[in-house]
Structure 1
Amino acid sequence: MARHEDVLIALRQIIRATDLYSRKLSKVAGLTSPQLLILQAIAAHGEMTMGDLANEVTLSQATVTTILDRLEKRGLLGRKRGESDKRRVYAHLTQAGMDIIEKAPTPLQDEFIARFDRLEEWEQSLILSSLQRVAAMMNAGDIDASPVLDLGAIDRAQPTVDLNQHREHTPLSKTDQK
């Protein structure tokens, strides 16, 4: 088997593992990975503003607001205005939100982080540089992404990126042209 086939198989395995986890999370808790991360962040820190949440889970404030809207409709969290500053809005978990966190599986990235952190620093650097290069080879270097292992649009309201369209508008680097 050619090396490029081994690389493509490994990439497919990563995609498949992410997909299987996303399905498990949806089946067990009825949540997406970003929704779970937001609920866990609120559980860990208590009431949080949209901006604080966005920084904590590395998502845009607009995306966090959209996700909060969905979680609030499901009764998993509530929002209230600050007492001293009425311009600030805080999200807080409801009992239903706390209950769903307890039954949800551990986020896939948590397992990855634990294993990655046990590697030697040189091995971590090697993996990082290799994956960054693979992303560049797939014209994905300019695609905005957060450290959330999930498939599809992050808030499920936005369409996923069409890589063919992205490729048409992204010039090849000198290395890629060789």
Structure 2
Amino acid sequence: MDRTDHSLIALRRILRSTELYGRELAKAAGLTAVQIRALQIVAESGHATAKEISTRMGVSQATMSSLVDRLEKKKLVTREPSSTDRRVTNIVITEAGLTAVDTAPDPLQQRYVKKFEALESWEQSMVVAVLERVASMLDSSEFDASPVLDLGDFREERD
């Protein structure tokens, strides 16, 4: 087997891990990894603005608005006007949202972060450089991507 095959197998293994985690999460919590991450951010203080969440997740305001709509439909968050600034709307986590965060399986990215941070600094630099190179090889620079490992269903509307 040549290096090209080895690299494709490694990519497939990464995609497969993400896919299996997504299924596990959907089965356990009925949510996507992106939805869980947004809930985790809101749960940190009990509320956050859509802009705060989108900035932390590295996604657009439009993506965040759609995500919050879905979480609100599931009664995991509510939108409430700020008591200090009427132009601001807070996203507030509900009891059901807190339960979803507490019962969700360990996020795949947390496992990755733990192992990545255990690497030497030079190893981290190499991993980042290689991953950025692979992403550019796949012409993925224009995608709206958060630091959440989520494959999702390409047939569905994305969060």
Structure 2 unaligned blocks of 5 or more: none
SS in 1 for 2:59: coil
Mean alpha-carbon deviation: is it higher for 60-69 or for 108-117?
60-69
Aligned runs of 1:27-106 on 2, under 5 Å?
27-106=27-106
Partner of 2:12: 12
Partner of 2:112: 112
Q: Work out the CA distance in 1 between the residues paired with 2:71 and 2:144.
A: 23
Cα RMSD after superposing both structures: 1.8
Contact kept? 2:22, 2:150, Cα under 8 Å: yes
Q: Work out the CA distance in 1 between the residues paired with 2:61 and 2:143.
A: 18
Deviations 1:116-158 (A, max 9, x none): 000001111111111222222222234332211111479x525
Q: Work out the CA distance in 1 between the residues paired with 2:132 and 2:56.
A: 23
SS in 1 for 2:149: coil
Mean alpha-carbon deviation: is it higher for 81-90 or for 18-27?
81-90
Contact kept? 2:60, 2:144, Cα under 8 Å: no
Deviations 1:24-71 (A, max 9, x none): 000000001110001000111221111111112222111111111111
SS in 2 for 1:59: coil
Instruction: Give the TM-score of the pair, scaled to structure 2.
Output: 0.92
Which protein, 1 or 2, shows the higher relative CO under an 8 Å CA cutoff with sep ≥ 6? 2
Partner of 1:165: none
SS in 2 for 1:21: helix
Moved over 4 A (4+): none
SS in 2 for 1:80: strand
Contact kept? 1:49, 1:88, Cα under 8 Å: yes
Q: Work out the CA distance in 1 between the residues paired with 2:158 and 2:105.
A: 25
Structure 1 unaligned blocks of 5 or more: 160-178
Residue identity (%): 42
Instruction: Give the TM-score of the pair, scaled to structure 1.
Output: 0.83
Aligned length: 158
